[in-house]
């Protein structure tokens, strides 16, 4: 790391000669590979954007100018160039460097990011603030072609293009979202990219017209193509131009000289600019180049071979397998993802039933309303989405699903603690969010065995139903096989004679509740255990019964306390004027930082051991 170790800020990058910049890029790549192979992280996106990051640091007047990274998962090289090399080994670990931009971590990070398609709005906001305060600065939103499938980008371009204040959108086009990119905009970008094809097409059509004099259908189509070819040849980026942006590019995003020239040109333009940069995801590491999707976000892996550790079956796998079985039996079943076919377990469905599978792009709002309409016209849509990204679609869920009474099934994956991706990715708000919605049903399986019957139930319920389950390995509580489901009814798993308290747990918290029961039993304290199964509607009668029988309730959930099932239990007791002592085991009203899931359960006192201490202290000291 001859050059990299001398770099503390972009001023140091500017001190390098142009000839040294490619070497700096190589060193950055090596460092990213070293740390991501150990810690896991967003590899492919970071490898692909190294030269662009170097060029930005070599050219911009940072930190006066500002870079807004969309999603932010591609900011590793930026972190390494802005005084964070010494901490880079702590990437994505507890108390370590975040895998995303974080202004609290460094002033070089312009804005928080993690959720897609916000960068243009942020750039418009920052550039307008500068204008209003009489400051001179240029703001650069760096956004991927995948993130360009998110609707917010067009709201922001519609607004920002009309304001005329100069700022630059750098479109980092690698033809990939996490999976292959989808949609009309993606096709349009391909047309811009393959501009040379149009030139050839124009030549071909001209020859065709000259050689053949006969008229008819083929000539008609020939003329159509000819007109398109001319249009795209002459007015590149016409869409962006119409939105008020000067379109520059496409530029080779791995050629630093070319990037620097174009950045210079862009900075001279006194209008919003869209600079189209072509990159390769995973660039420079063969396994990632060959398989950019697997290496998009990855756990630790063997650097020499690119191989990862085999994973144990997850809740996602369970969901995926059951949905396939159900779809074989019912042709009305349709699966929808917002750009995450692999992560949500829908890739197998897509392969088997391509006609009944939709990847809508990074468009959770559209996904929900689209799913609602499918559902109300006789299809059985299942939209699989990570809890954190479902937040995007709050209003669509409320209006276009719950109010519309659309029987959409939501498979809410990565619900609860997500871990190393940190604050932006924890799935801690879906319970509170969905519990507030009339007509919604929210269920949570306790293990791999109870997930399939819940999915069956959800599809048969003919109402809006969400099924939430966490990231990672699924518990398997073979001692407690699934019991028939009844809407809004919990299940008493264990009710020993003379129990002194009841543990009411939701979903993945049932396993620790059973563990806690054992820890208490070792002290001759016997506890009943209830799997709530439904977070909405809550089983009011069962909860009231438990309160009356035992007088002490511990409510366990892996979501935030405000609006959670614990508060729901308190509301039921208040409404029925029952007095019981209630302990709420939930995440507090705060953003939960990055760490391994187990570390976070320990930190927030939500392991069986920590709850044992809490129960003993409060009730049995
Ligand atoms: C609202 C939202 N939905 C889904 C995601 C998950 N996600 C993270 S990165 C990504 C793909 C981004 O593709 P692109 O913008 O092209 O960047 P690249 O990784 O290809 O550089 C997706 C879908 C997200 N971050 N935010």
Q: How confident is the model at residue 309 (pLDDT cuts 50, 70, 90)?
A: confident
**What confidence score (pLDDT) does residue 190 get?**
87
Question: What CATH number does residue 545 fall under?
Answer: 3.40.50.920
pLDDT in tens, 109-119: 999 999 999 99
Is the distance from the beta carbon of residue 424 to the nearest atom of ligand 1 less than 6 Å? no
DSSP label of 84: -
**What confidence score (pLDDT) does residue 81 get?**
98
pLDDT in tens, 126-184: 999 999 999 999 999 999 999 999 999 999 999 999 999 999 999 999 999 998 888 98
Is the distance from the beta carbon of residue 425 to the nearest atom of ligand 1 less than 6 Å? no
**What confidence score (pLDDT) does residue 234 get?**
57
DSSP label of 393: G
Give 105 Cα–ligand 1 centroid separation in angstroms: 22
Q: How many CB atoms lie within 10 A of CB 29?
A: 19
pLDDT in tens, 393-451: 999 999 999 999 999 999 999 999 999 999 999 999 999 999 999 999 999 999 999 99
Domain identity same for 268 and 370: no
Ligand 1 atom nearest to 279, measured from its CA = 21
**What confidence score (pLDDT) does residue 214 get?**
54
Domain identity same for 413 and 549: no
**What confidence score (pLDDT) does residue 556 get?**
99
Give 36 Cα–ligand 1 centroid separation in angstroms: 18
What residue owns the CA closest to ligand 1's atom 25?
Answer: 115
- The answer to whether position 477 is within a domain reads no
Pocket test for ligand 1, best of 71, 295, 367, 391 (most atoms within 8 A of CB): 71
What residue owns the CA closest to ligand 1's atom 22?
Answer: 178
229-243, 315-329, 530-544, 569-583: range with lowest mean pLDDT = 229-243
User: What is the maximum alpha-carbon separation in the chain?
Assistant: 99
Higher pLDDT among residues 338 and 215, named by residue: 338
- The answer to whether position 479 is within a domain reads no
Question: What CATH number does residue 21 fall under?
Answer: 3.40.50.970
Give 134 Cα–ligand 1 centroid separation in angstroms: 34
Burial of 95 (0-12, 13-18, 19+ CB in 10 A): exposed
pLDDT at 201 over 50: yes
The count of domains in the chain is: 3
**What confidence score (pLDDT) does residue 199 get?**
43
- The answer to whether position 405 is within a domain reads yes
Is the distance from the beta carbon of residue 118 to the nearest atom of ligand 1 less than 6 Å? no
What is the chain's Cα-based Rg?
27
Task: Tell me which residue of 98, 119, 9, 110 sits closest to 593, measured CA to CA.
Answer: 98
pLDDT in tens, 369-395: 999 999 999 999 999 999 999 999 999
Q: Where are the beta strands (DSSP E) in 164-317?
A: 168-173, 246-252, 273-278
**What confidence score (pLDDT) does residue 202 get?**
47
pLDDT at 200 over 80: no
Ligand 1 atom nearest to 172, measured from its CA = 21
**What confidence score (pLDDT) does residue 170 get?**
98
What residue owns the CA closest to ligand 1's atom 23?
Answer: 339
Is the distance from the beta carbon of residue 340 to the nearest atom of ligand 1 less than 6 Å? yes
Is the distance from the beta carbon of residue 176 to the nearest atom of ligand 1 less than 6 Å? yes
- The answer to whether position 386 is within a domain reads yes
- The answer to whether position 269 is within a domain reads yes
**What confidence score (pLDDT) does residue 1 get?**
82
pLDDT at 314 over 90: yes
Domain identity same for 110 and 25: yes
Task: Tell me which residue of 394, 407, 293, 425 sits closest to 350, measured CA to CA.
Answer: 293
Domain identity same for 388 and 284: no
Domain identity same for 421 and 515: no
Q: How confident is the model at residue 312 (pLDDT cuts 50, 70, 90)?
A: confident
Q: Which domain holds residue 435?
A: 315-468
Pocket test for ligand 1, best of 116, 141, 297 (most atoms within 8 A of CB): 116
Catalytic residue list: 281, 364, 392
Is the distance from the beta carbon of residue 389 to the nearest atom of ligand 1 less than 6 Å? yes
Alpha carbons within 13 A on the beta-carbon side of 5: 2
Domain identity same for 241 and 346: no
What is the C-alpha to C-alpha distance for residues 591 and 588, in angstroms, rounded to an integer? 8
Domain identity same for 456 and 518: no
Stretch 589-604: mean pLDDT: 98
Give 116 Cα–ligand 1 centroid separation in angstroms: 6
pLDDT in tens, 245-261: 999 999 999 999 999 99
Kindly give, in sequence order, each residue whose CB lies less than 8 Å from that of residue 185, ignoring residues fewer than 6 positions away.
145, 148, 149
pLDDT at 95 over 90: yes
- The answer to whether position 25 is within a domain reads yes
Give 350 Cα–ligand 1 centroid separation in angstroms: 19
Q: How confident is the model at residue 295 (pLDDT cuts 50, 70, 90)?
A: very high
User: What's the mean per-residue pLDDT of the chain?
Assistant: 94
Domain identity same for 411 and 502: no
- The answer to whether position 349 is within a domain reads yes
Give 177 Cα–ligand 1 centroid separation in angstroms: 6
pLDDT in tens, 467-522: 999 999 999 999 999 999 999 999 999 999 999 999 999 999 999 999 999 999 99
Q: How many CB atoms lie within 10 A of CB 132?
A: 9
Ligand 1 atom nearest to 74, measured from its CA = 21
Stretch 316-333: mean pLDDT: 98
- The answer to whether position 423 is within a domain reads yes
Domain identity same for 497 and 430: no
- For residue 139, CA distances in Å to 46, 271, 412 come to 21, 12, 36
What is the C-alpha to C-alpha distance for residues 544 and 466, in angstroms, rounded to an integer? 25
pLDDT in tens, 189-199: 988 887 655 44
Burial of 351 (0-12, 13-18, 19+ CB in 10 A): exposed
**What confidence score (pLDDT) does residue 225 get?**
62
Domain identity same for 510 and 464: no
Query: 336 near 364, Cβ under 8 Å?
Result: no
**What confidence score (pLDDT) does residue 191 get?**
87
Is the distance from the beta carbon of residue 144 to the nearest atom of ligand 1 less than 6 Å? yes
Pocket test for ligand 1, best of 171, 339, 391 (most atoms within 8 A of CB): 339
Q: How many CB atoms lie within 10 A of CB 189?
A: 22
* Residue at a domain's end among 290, 324, 345: 290
Domain identity same for 559 and 443: no
Is the distance from the beta carbon of residue 170 to the nearest atom of ligand 1 less than 6 Å? no
Domain identity same for 342 and 394: yes
């Amino acid at each position: 790391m001859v050059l990299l170790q001398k770099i503390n800020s972009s001023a140091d990058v500017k001190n390098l000669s142009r000839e040294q910049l490619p070497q700096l890029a190589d060193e950055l790549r090596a460092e990213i590979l070293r740390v991501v192979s150990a810690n896991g992280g967003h590899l492919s996106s970071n490898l692909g954007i190294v030269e662009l990051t170097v060029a930005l640091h070599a050219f911009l007047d940072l930190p006066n100018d500002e870079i807004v990274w969309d999603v932010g998962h591609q900011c590793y090289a930026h972190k390494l160039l802005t005084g964070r090399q010494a901490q880079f080994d702590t990437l994505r670990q507890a108390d370590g460097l975040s895998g995303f931009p974080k202004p609290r971590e460094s002033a070089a990070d312009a804005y928080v990011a993690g959720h897609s398609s916000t960068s243009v709005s942020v750039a418009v906001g920052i550039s307008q603030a500068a204008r209003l305060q009489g400051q001179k600065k240029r703001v650069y939103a760096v956004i991927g072609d995948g993130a360009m499938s998110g609707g917010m980008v067009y709201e922001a371009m519609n607004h920002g293009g009309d304001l005329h204040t100069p700022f630059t959108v750098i479109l980092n086009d690698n033809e990939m979202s996490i999976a292959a990119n989808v949609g009309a905009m993606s096709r349009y970008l391909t047309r811009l990219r393959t501009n040379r094809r149009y030139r050839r097409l124009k030549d071909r059509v001209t020859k065709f017209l000259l050689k053949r004099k006969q008229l008819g259908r083929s000539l008609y189509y020939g003329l159509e193509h000819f007109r398109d070819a001319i249009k795209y040849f002459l007015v590149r980026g016409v869409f962006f131009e119409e939105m008020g942006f000067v379109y520059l590019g496409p530029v080779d995003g791995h050629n630093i000289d070319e990037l620097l020239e174009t950045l210079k040109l862009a900075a001279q333009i006194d209008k919003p600019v869209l600079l189209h940069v072509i990159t390769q995801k995973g660039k420079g590491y063969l396994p990632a180049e060959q398989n950019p999707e697997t290496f998009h976000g990855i756990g630790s892996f063997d650097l020499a071979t690119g191989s990862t550790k085999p994973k144990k079956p997850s809740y996602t796998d369970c969901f995926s397998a059951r949905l396939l079985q159900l779809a074989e039996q019912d042709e009305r079943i349709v699966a929808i993802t917002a750009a995450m076919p692999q992560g949500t377990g829908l890739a197998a469905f897509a392969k088997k039933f391509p006609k009944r599978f939709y990847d809508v792009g990074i468009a959770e709002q559209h996904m929900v309303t689209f799913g609602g309409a499918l559902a109300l016209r006789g299809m059985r849509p299942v939209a699989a989405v990570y809890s954190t990204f479902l937040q995007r679609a709050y209003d669509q869920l409320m209006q276009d699903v719950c109010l519309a009474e659309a029987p959409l099934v939501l498979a809410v994956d990565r619900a609860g603690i997500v871990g190393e991706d940190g604050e932006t990715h924890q799935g801690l708000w879906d319970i509170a969010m969905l519990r507030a919605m009339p007509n919604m049903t929210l269920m949570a399986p306790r293990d791999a065995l109870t997930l399939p019957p819940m999915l069956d139930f959800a599809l048969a319920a003919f109402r809006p139903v969400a099924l939430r389950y966490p990231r990672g390995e699924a518990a398997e509580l073979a001692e407690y096989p699934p019991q028939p489901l009844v809407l809004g009814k919990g299940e008493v798993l264990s009710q020993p004679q003379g129990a002194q308290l009841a543990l009411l747990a939701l979903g993945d918290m049932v396993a620790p509740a059973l563990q806690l029961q054992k820890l208490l039993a070792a002290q001759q304290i016997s506890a009943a255990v209830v799997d709530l199964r439904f977070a909405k509607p809550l089983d009011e009668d069962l909860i009231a019964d438990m309160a009356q029988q035992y007088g002490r309730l511990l409510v366990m959930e892996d979501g935030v306390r405000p609006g959670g099932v614990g508060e729901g239990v308190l509301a039921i007791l208040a409404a029925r004027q029952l007095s019981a002592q209630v302990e709420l085991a939930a995440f507090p009203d705060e953003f939960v930082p990055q760490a391994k899931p187990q570390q976070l359960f320990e930190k927030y006192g939500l392991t069986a051991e920590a709850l044992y201490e809490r129960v003993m202290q409060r009730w049995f000291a």
